Amino acid sequence: MRLSELFVRLAAFAIAAVICVVGARFAVATVETRSVDAVQIALQENGHDFATVLGDGLQVILEGEAPTEANRFRAISTAGSMVDASRVIDNMTVKASEALQAPEFSMEILRNDSGVSLIGLIPAATDREALTARFAGLAGRDGNFADFLETADYETPLGWNDSVDFALRALRQLPRSKISVRAGRVSVEAISDSPEEKAAFENELRRITPQGQLVTLNIMAPRQVVSPFVTRFIKDADGARFDSCVADTPAAERRIVTAAQAAGIEGRVGCTVALGAPTARWADAVTMALEAVDELGGGTVTISDTEVTLVGQQGAVQGLFDRVAGELENTLPEAFALEAILPEAPVQGQDGPPQFVATLSPEGLVQLRGRVSDELLNTTAENFARAKFGSNDISMATRVSDGLPGTWPVRVLAGVEALSSLSNGSVTVQPDTIVVRGNSGVEDANGIISRLLVDKLGSSAEFEVNVTYVEALDPIAALPTEEECLDQITAVTAARKITFDPGSANIAGEGASIIDDIADILRRCSDLRLEIAGYTDSQGSEGGNQRLSQQRADAVLDALRVRRVPVSSFRSVGYGEENPIADNETEAGREANRRIEFTLIVPESTEEPTALEQIEAEAAAAEQTGDEATE
């Protein structure tokens, strides 16, 4: 009896144990499932879809690849908010981050009367001290220099050094400017004092632009002030043309050009946009005057400030002229006054009208001939010509004559002054007209001379200006390129040779005159990058020859500096007996090898090693040296 009770009790305990185990497992499974579901839902609601949730008993395991370390941390925090944080097991990985992109290096340079400022991001491999020293030198002793540059340790981009070098050279030319530098491209904004200076700046900057550089120029020039404000239009048997055309705005210029084309002018035509217009309705007055000349079929109209002078052609119908002149007078803007002239046919004697002729030859010879009213005018005209042309080479062939108009002295002196605006040509002065013909290196020479004659003789004066613009005479457009400068130097040194005293760097013989000729060329070639190379023959030691060639190259550089040639962009190099051009076994060959050569400096490659590459190269060299020492 007692034994059966024992077995019953043991069986009850066993059954209870099994039930407890099954219940515990069921409870754990239920907790695991609910924990996994709760964490998974929370992760999805918070945008952490990259994480997957696994259950291991009471533990919650997170797996997956997080985009960033921050996303991984947020996923763990989200899981910890749903179950006890001690139950969360992190098996997630973080996606490998991409290498950081190198920043775009850039530099802004500002220069004005106060000094120079630098701001931007430059490569750490840049020689900061040398760079800032070059720019600080442009600020002058009393100018301020501000350096706000930052550096980043990334590889120097291709074209960066060329861009910085061009920016420095441009800054030397531009006292009021802002220059933006990027690798391979430079943007220049500047202010010039005049249109001529603007053209000179643009021409020089284009000349020194390195190959492959993208350069954007925006150089502004103040509008010139024109006084008197003159537009003069002529239509005759030779066609329609402007002697002078000025406008106060670009819109006014377009209106005037359109009216001129409608009146018969052909080809390319433009007006000078300038300050000095007497009224905002300048374009209205000019277009009305051009339409009047076209309706007459020919004639001349001169608008000088607010005075309008309409001159009809000889033989024009009086009634038509009166009607057109009357309509113009009544439609002109209020500020303008009209003078209408219909000339009569001239009555001339057998000798024709009296003349005074002034000519200027291409060589600069000035000749004055023809009639003058008295000795005082003769002397005045000669002295005036000497003052205007800066020359004593004045040929006088004038004669005093009676019966000349009272305005003759003014017309003669105005003619001489008009001639001074030409490179070569002639001026013919007659009682009723002045004719100016010739060549000039100034594009607006016709307008300048017309305004001069109107100012001196009045708006009703009759004159003809026919001046041709010749680019070769333009001191700006005719500037030689670097290659042309080098060709000129090569031509000088090909025929003659710079010689030195034996064994020394003293320039001998006609070497000084050759350097004089080279200096004359270089003064016309501003900011030229030039290498002066010295060579010797093979006699003597190699080291001695190298030193002698360097001394001779330095001597030529110093000689050019003494002659006031800007040599800041030059370098002198002694190559010794390298690169012979003839046989050193003969005296003639050795003489040919002892030489000075001039070459253009080509910008060096911008592919410079980064600081890291330089350190690695030095470490590799040191390791190789150690290995060799061990062996």
The model's confidence at residue 24, banded by pLDDT at 50, 70 and 90, is: low
pLDDT digits (tens, 9 = 90+) for 380-402: 998 898 888 876 678 888 888 88
pLDDT of residue 607: 41
pLDDT exceeding 90 applies to what percent of the chain?
Answer: 20
Mean pLDDT taken over the chain: 83
The enclosing H or E element of 571 equals strand 570-574
Supply 310's token pair: 């309409």
Measured CA distances, 296 to 299, 307, 342, 489 (Å)? 7, 20, 11, 59
Distance between CA atoms of 462 and 367, rounded to whole angstroms? 24
**Averaged pLDDT for residues 277-291:** 93
375-to-355, 393, 398, 399, 409 alpha-carbon distances in Å: 16, 20, 10, 9, 11
pLDDT at 622: 58
Give the contacts of 393 (CB within 8 A, at least 6 positions apart).
364, 365, 366
Instruction: Quickly state the pLDDT bin for 592 (edges 50, 70, 90).
Output: confident
- If you write DSSP's letter for every residue of 62-80 in order, what string do you get? EESEESSHHHHHHHHHHHH
pLDDT 10s digits, 110-150: 988 888 899 999 998 888 888 888 888 777 666 788 889 88
pLDDT of residue 295: 92
- Please name the residues in contact with 538: beta carbons below 8 A apart, sequence gap of 6 or more: 545, 577, 580, 584, 590, 593
What's the rounded mean pLDDT across residues 235-256?
A: 90
Residue 609 reports pLDDT greater than 50? no
What is the mean predicted confidence (pLDDT) over 547-566? 88
pLDDT band at residue 623, thresholds of 50, 70 and 90?
low
pTM: predicted TM-score of the whole model, two decimal places: 0.53
Higher-confidence position of 109 and 207: 109
What pLDDT is stored for residue 205 in this prediction?
83
3-state secondary structure of 360: strand
Strand order in the sheet with 214-220: 144-152, 115-123, 106-112, 177-182, 185-191, 214-220
d(CA 327, CA 548): 86
- The predicted structure's pLDDT at residue 494: 83
Please check the confidence at residue 630 and state whether its pLDDT lies above 50.
no
Q: What is the pLDDT of residue 290?
A: 94
Are the CB atoms for 446 and 468 separated by under 8 Å?
Answer: no
Residue 413 clears pLDDT 90, i.e. is over it: yes
For 76-145, give the secondary structure using H, E and C: HHHHHHHCCHHHEEECCEECCCCCCCCCCCEEEEEEECCEEEEEEEEECCCCHHHHHHHHHHHHCCCCEE
Does the pLDDT value for residue 613 go beyond 50? no
pLDDT at 429: 93
If one compares 524 and 161, the residue with the highest pLDDT of the two is 161
Residue 187: the pLDDT is 92
In angstroms, the CA 512 to CA 499 distance is 9
Q: Residue 211 and residue 463: Cα distance in Å, rounded? A: 49
pLDDT top residue among 97 and 155: 155
Burial 222-238 (b: 16+ CB within 10 A, else e): eeeebebbbbbbbbeee
Are 42 and 53 spatial neighbours (Cβ–Cβ below 8 Å)?
Answer: no
User: Which tokens in the block code for residue 354?
Assistant: 């009296």
Q: Where residue 1 falls among pLDDT bands split at 50, 70, 90?
A: very low
Within 10 Å of residue 330's Cβ, how many Cβ atoms? 8
Q: What is the mean pLDDT of residues 527-537?
A: 86
Q: Per-residue pLDDT tens for 195-205?
A: 778 888 888 88
Q: How many CB atoms lie within 10 A of CB 4?
A: 8
Q: Helix 445-457 vs helix 408-419: angle between axes, to the nearest 10 degrees?
A: 160
Q: What is the spatial distance between Cα 293 and Cα 93, in angstroms, rounded to a whole number? A: 89
Helix, strand, coil proportions of the chain in percent (round to 5)?
A: 40, 25, 35
Give the pLDDT band (50/70/90) at residue 52: confident
pLDDT, tens digit, for every residue of 87-100?
A: 788 888 888 766 56
Q: Which residues of 274-312 are buried (b: 16+ CB within 10 A; e: fewer)?
A: bebbbbebbbbbbbbbbbbbbebebbbbbbbbbbbbbbb
pLDDT digits (tens, 9 = 90+) for 449-491: 988 998 898 888 888 999 988 877 776 666 677 888 888 888 8
Q: Say which residues have a Cβ less than 8 Å from residue 354's Cβ, sequence separation at least 6.
A: 370, 371, 401, 403, 404, 430, 431
Question: Is the pLDDT confidence value at 282 over 90?
Answer: yes
CA 64/CA 53 separation, integer angstroms: 9
Say if strands 88-90 and 59-63 run parallel, antiparallel, or are unpaired: parallel
